[in-house]
Structure 1
């Protein structure tokens, strides 16, 4: 993952790429970062513009994090440029707390399918904090794209709490891929993961073959509808 050293560089980049759909400002300040923020906040009070400018352009990570959270307030999520800034900050800020905050605001305010590329990257972030924020974000959605991220995190994340939480949430998805992943989870070296994999298998199928992955696999191979036992619970 490539981390961009200063958020000012991000905003300058966005300014160069253009501001389609934004209101044109008559008096452009010399600072290109200030120009971008003024276009981003065409109808906001000058005080709010200045605060956002100072925070997003700050070298202080906590100030940038506060700026990110401001982008999730009021009408800010409806501005065309907001999602662009949040995506870049979620993937490129050098500070994990800023990246995690950007993920939080993205998941809260935008349809999961529109930010999936970003979440796929943050699901592999080197920071546990960012991966946890990504996981909890997709846990609140029940869509196929979210399921794919959960499967990857259940199978590949190095942190056992992430793998266990992903196994728990996968119980919401009636999909053979999920069952196969959970069966593999029974053999996870961490008991928390194998235990949660078994619990989710029981919830999905109404069956219990303990931690015997071979018996689970044999049953799945011969089962026409592995969810039939609990079909009434989903109607």
Structure 2
């Protein structure tokens, strides 16, 4: 729906996984905007090759598959998929040597500002403040913690010059030890129709700072994805993110 409403882009293909019961139906009707003449199909290499940019919100494995095709046919790619792990991100970095790839688990402009605020706060307050990351999403979300929460963890780790994989704590159930220095904790909630809440807590001695972003409507993700698509089309091969889009 966002692409159809745009004056800059034209929808040339809409893809779903093989065997999906919606295949063959008009993408516009499925989006609630009326017929657009583009039928939902399984991934079509020829359509990707003809396109200037592909926008992918799918699953981590599907995003890798689509990125491999885009790298082969040299079509720019925007990935908004969440749940991409460290190994998969490494594969995308290699594919980005061949084609421009824009990757962000959260396309919200407000979230991009939160990244900046978190980086500044962690760097300024130092290691005397413990960091915990809380996120909440709708009951249908499959990955936990969210990709955005993991990205926030990466921002914290980079600001402290530590390795997130070594410092991340995802489960404290049954753990009777005290909190380890420099650890970065993650907590997740799933329920109802929550579009997306993320809070970074910096807890010091006698005080704490909470930095929060709340998404009230998923349309803000569409707006960000279209801005990313416009941005990436003019770029050389490489891996880009929201900080590049916003000119940091």
- Normalising by structure 2, report the TM-score: 0.28
Pick 1 or 2: higher relative contact order, CA cutoff 8 A, min separation 6. Answer: 2
**Larger % of strand: which?**
2
**Larger % of helix: which?**
1
- Normalising by structure 1, report the TM-score: 0.29
Structure 1 or 2, whichever has the larger Rg, is: 1
